[in-house]
Amino acid sequence: MSRHVLAALLAAGFSLAAQPPLLGQEGVQTQKATATAAPLNLNTATAGQLEMLPGIGARTAARIVEHRQKNGPFKKVEDLMNIRGIGEKNFLQLKPLVTVGQPRPEKPAPQDAGR
């Protein structure tokens, strides 16, 4: 193996070792959302996407989707605290990672051009 390849592998290994892996419930390494990623829209996210958020498991993700289906879209990110299992501490960790998105503007009615 060439020294350049070995040096590249070692450099990659050191950068990976600097960040501890996040382990899921099954002990498998999972990739969770970070503050550098685009915020996840609570009104359009799937349960699978919600599970990528830190502290959100399958049950809580299902509760978020169920709440959205029963009560309509989230109006503000703070509404997330209405979900069982999400308290203030969890919410503060999630707040920079989620959004409710901008409501779509309603299209104006077409004008009658024949008048």
Residue 74 pLDDT > 80, yes or no? yes
Report pLDDT for 76. 96
Report pLDDT for 38. 84
Question: Domain range spanning residue 46?
Answer: 33-102
pLDDT, averaged across the chain: 74
**Could you tell me if 88 and 81 are in contact, meaning their C-beta atoms sit under 8 angstroms apart?**
yes
Does some domain include residue 22? no
**Over residues 81-102, mean pLDDT:** 93
Does some domain include residue 112? no
When divided into structural domains, the chain yields a total of 1
Does some domain include residue 37? yes
Does some domain include residue 27? no
- The pTM assigned to this predicted structure is 0.59
Does some domain include residue 107? no
Does some domain include residue 23? no
CATH number, domain of 97, equals 1.10.150.320
Does some domain include residue 69? yes
Report pLDDT for 30. 45
Percent of the chain with pLDDT over 90: 54
Distance CA 48, CA 33 (A): 12
Does some domain include residue 53? yes
